[in-house]
Amino acid sequence: MIKDKVVIVTGGASGIGRAIAERFAADGARVVIADVRSEGGQAVAEELGTQFIAADLSHRSDCQSLVQKVIETHGTVHVLVNNAGFQHIDAIEQFPDDVWEQMMAVMLTAPFLLARYAWPTMKAQQWGRILNIASIHAVVASRHKSGYVSAKHALLGLTRTLALEGGQYGITAHAICPAYVRTPLVENQIAAQATALAVAEEKVIEQVMLERAAIKRLIEPREVAAVAAFLCSAPASAMTGAPVMIDVGWTAGP
């Protein structure tokens, strides 16, 4: 079902975004990778035989330009994967104002704008898939993550609204909610979490990242990519508007 579909993957230069771009490209989609990291994004696009567009999604103009360029080149947008991330760990009283604003711009405003700009073409073709890469933190909170948790909770609300508005036009929306995934971003978090929580780095994965998990391991990016591919398949056409949990059992307990 995804073959020849036009897919935008934001934050596609590494981690979950790269894994999703790889999976969709392997399945025959026409993938457009968008990332603020031009060198890394271009390298991945060349490796996969896909298109790369440099975009700083904290700017409204870049969000609009990204969708316009894709439509000009490919004629439409079928799948929008809002994956671009921004990580900051700090106690609430120490959280910098400028970091908050940039985080909200990348993680919440950009998905809203990209969906808005892609909406007319999805509506016209009566088919669209919006995949918001949320997080376990779209449904639960953790200390020292006030900005991240706020953005992800709001992203789930956006997903639900898009689902309600898009259903009659064949547009579905999903919030994919993984627990900790083995990505460069998570690896960088280990030292920051250790500092914020005053624990040794080697204890962060065990005591913080996996403490509430039933399955005691990090999730691999390819596993998230497989779920994303399924949500664009025919068997998933009745699914929309709910968090899709990949949480190693995090929310199964109290």
Distance CA 109, CA 11 (A): 15
Of the candidates 117, 148, 169, 180, the residue annotated as catalytic is 148
> Hey, which residues does 30 pair with through a beta bridge?
6
Angle at alpha carbon of residue 194, lines to 142 and 197, rounded to 5°: 50
What sign does the dihedral 48-52-54-58 (CA atoms) show?
negative
Amino acid at 117: Y
- Identify whether 148 is a catalytic site residue: yes
Nearest of 119, 133, 86 to residue 231 by alpha carbon? 133
Three-class DSSP category at 174? strand
What the block records as the tokens of 96 is 């910098």
Say if residues 10 and 44 touch (Cβ distance below 8 Å).
no
Q: Which helix (H) or strand (E) holds 98?
A: helix 97-104
| Residues tagged active-site | 148
